[in-house]
Copies of this chain bind each other. A is one copy, B any other.
Amino acid sequence: MAWNRVAVVGAGLVKFGELFEQSYEQMAAGAFSAAVAHVDKGIEPRQVDAVVVATQRGSLWGQEGIGGNTVPSAIGLSGVACTRVENACPSGSDAFRVGAMMVASGVHDVVLVIGVEKMRDKSAQEGLLARAASGHPIYNRGETAPVLFAPFATRHMHEFGTTPEMLAAVAVKNHHNGCLDPYAHFRNEVTVEQVLESPPVCHPLRLLDCCPQTDGAAAIIITAADHATRFTDKPVFVAGFGVATDHPALHEKSTFVGLPATTEAAKRAYGMSGIGPSDIDMAEVHDCFTITEILDIEDLGFVEKGKGGQATIDGTTSLEGRLPVNTSGGLLAKGHPIGATGVAQLVECTWQLREEAGERQVEIRHGNALQHNVGGRGSGVSVVNILTRNR
Contact = CB atoms under 8 A, between A and B. Distances in A.
A175 B7 CA distance: 50
A69 B87 contact: yes
Interface in A60-96: 60, 62-70, 72-73, 77-88, 94
Contact of A101 (B60, B67, B105, B272): B105
A279 interface: no
Contacts of A88: 66, 68-69
Given A106-B104, A107-B104, A380-B73, A78 B246 contact: yes
Interface residues of A, number: 64
Contacts of A105: 5, 100-102, 104-105
B65 A135 contact: yes
Nearest to A243: B81
Contact of A65 (B100, B247, B260, B377): B377
Contact of A73 (B5, B59, B101, B246): B246
B82 A133 contact: no
Contacts of A377: 65-66, 70
Interface of A: 5, 50, 57-60, 62-70, 72-73, 77-88, 94, 97-98, 100-102, 104-107, 125, 131-136, 140, 242-248, 252, 260-261, 264, 268, 272, 376-377, 380-381
A50 B381 CA distance: 13
25 contacts: A50-B243, A59-B131, A59-B135, A65-B133, A66-B134, A66-B248, A66-B377, A69-B245, A69-B248, A69-B380, A69-B381, A72-B245, A73-B245, A78-B245, A78-B246, A78-B247, A79-B245, A80-B245, A82-B87, A85-B85, A85-B86, A98-B101, A104-B105, A104-B106, A107-B272
Nearest to A70: B248
Contacts of A82: 87, 243, 245, 381
A50 B101 CA distance: 13
Nearest to A248: B70
